[in-house]
């Protein structure tokens, strides 16, 4: 586990946010559920620079309180699903 991934997990823990919280997305009538942990771990497979951007955005969402973290993970989950689905499209 990278230092950035550990820092992200520690931030969530400090804020009392369960990493196993999940968000459901409906795509073409099918529901896909992603946990905060899955989203975090998937983004941690990206470049070092992308990991830093993820951490910075997470910190900003935590500072926003209320719906900030939920909206952050919702947006990151949507990005993952769009990327996954676009990889399956044949041109």
C-alpha torsion angle, residues 32, 21, 82, 75 (rounded to 10): 140
pLDDT tens digit string along 45-87?
A: 999 999 999 999 999 999 987 668 999 999 999 998 888 766 6
Let me know if 62 is exposed, middle or buried by CB neighbors in 10 A (0-12, 13-18, 19+): middle
- Compute the CA torsion angle 79, 52, 55, 37 (nearest 10 deg): 60
Confidence tier at 16 by pLDDT (50, 70, 90): very high
Count CA atoms closer than 13 A to 27's CA, side-chain side: 16
Give the tokens for residue 18: 């369960």
SS3 43: helix
Give the pLDDT mean for 22-45: 92
pTM value is 0.86
Residue 89 pLDDT exceeds 80:
no
19 vs 64, higher pLDDT: 19
């Amino acid at each position: 586990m990278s230092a950035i991934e550990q820092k992200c997990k520690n931030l969530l823990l400090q804020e009392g946010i369960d990493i196993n919280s999940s968000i459901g997305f409906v795509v073409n009538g099918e529901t896909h559920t992603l946990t905060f942990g899955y989203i975090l771990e998937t983004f941690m497979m990206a470049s070092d620079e992308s990991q830093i951007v993820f951490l910075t955005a997470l910190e900003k969402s935590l500072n926003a309180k209320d719906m900030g973290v939920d909206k952050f993970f919702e947006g990151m989950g949507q990005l993952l699903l769009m990327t996954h689905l676009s990889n399956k499209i044949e041109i």
